[in-house]
Amino acid sequence: MKIAIGSDHAGVEFKKEIAEWLVANGHECKDMGPYTEESVDYPDYAHKVAKAVASGEYEQGILLCGTGLGVSISANKVPGIRAALACRPEFATLARQHNNANVLCMSARFTDSATIVTTLEHWFAADFEGGRHQRRVEKIEQCS
C-alpha cells in the first residue's frame, strides 16, 4: 500500500519510526516533511498529505503533531478525507471499520513508541465494514 506521512516539528522523530515500520511491513512510504525539528505550521503538512490521499496518488495518510488535533482538523478540510485521531489503538480499528477513515492522526507528545506501533498494527489490520456504516460515510461526504 502507498502511504503518505507528514507531521509538524513535534512529530519528526516518531515519523521516522513510522516510516521504518511501514517499509518493514511491506508498504511504500513517502515522507512529505518536515525533516527537522525547526518550528513549522502543521496545516502545511496536513494539507500536503491529505491532498495526496484525496487525489488517489496515495491510498492512505498518517499525520502527527503535538496532540494530533491540529493535523486532524486541517486534514479534514480537504474534500474526500476522513482523518481520525487515534488516542488509543482501538480508535484506529474503529475509525477504519466504521468511518472508512483514510488518514490516521496521532499525538507525538502524549503517545509512546509502543502505542504508536500498536496503533499502526490495528489500523492496517482493520477494513471498512460497509453496511450501515456506508450510509453514514455517504452523509459525511455530502458535507464536503
Burial class (CB in 10 A: 0-12, 13-18, 19+), 20: exposed
Q: DSSP 3-state assignment of 31?
A: strand
Of 9, 47, 65, 122, which one is the catalytic site residue?
65
Residue 9 annotated to the active site: no
Catalytic pick among 98, 105, 133, 143:
98
H or E, element range at 81: none
**Active site (annotated) includes residue 65:** yes
Cell of 44: 502545511
Query: Known catalytic residues?
Result: 65, 98
